[in-house]
């Protein structure tokens, strides 16, 4: 019975994040150190709808996230991306500091 609850709980958690596969058109930065990733597809999630993903200046994995995005752009490959929030200015998707946010290079 406990195993069933854990499996159902993990399935419920995995359904919370919306994952998108897209090409990175370009990346950029602001003077405050924050960065953004512009995708060729709009990230659609309740509360936000934008092709621009924001990463806060103080995000601990900012450089790693940006590295994956730049590598994908340079290679013409897609990324798989998921964000944990739509709380960036203008309701844009925001990379959070938890496992709801991730990015990976598609092979």
Digit-coded pLDDT (tens) for 62-87? 999 999 999 999 999 999 999 988 88
The CATH number of the domain covering residues in 18-105? 2.40.50
Mark the ranges of the chain whose per-residue pLDDT is less than 70. 1-17
List the beta strands (DSSP E) in 10-64.
19-29, 35-45, 48-55
Exposed, middle or buried by CB within 10 Å (0-12, 13-18, 19+), for 62?
A: middle
Q: How do the domains of the chain map onto residue ranges?
A: 18-105
pLDDT computed for residue 17 by the predictor: 59
């Amino acid at each position: 019975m406990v195993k069933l609850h854990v499996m159902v709980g993990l399935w419920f958690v995995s359904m919370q994040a919306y994952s998108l596969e897209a090409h990175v058109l370009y990346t950029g930065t602001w003077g405050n150190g924050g960065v953004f990733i512009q995708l060729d597809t709009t990230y659609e999630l309740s509360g936000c709808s934008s092709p621009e993903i924001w990463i806060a200046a103080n995000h601990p994995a900012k450089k790693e996230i940006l590295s994956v995005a730049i590598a994908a752009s340079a290679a013409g490959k897609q990324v798989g991306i998921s964000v944990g929030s739509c709380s960036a200015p203008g309701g844009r998707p925001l990379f959070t500091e938890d496992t709801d946010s991730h990015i990976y290079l598609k092979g």
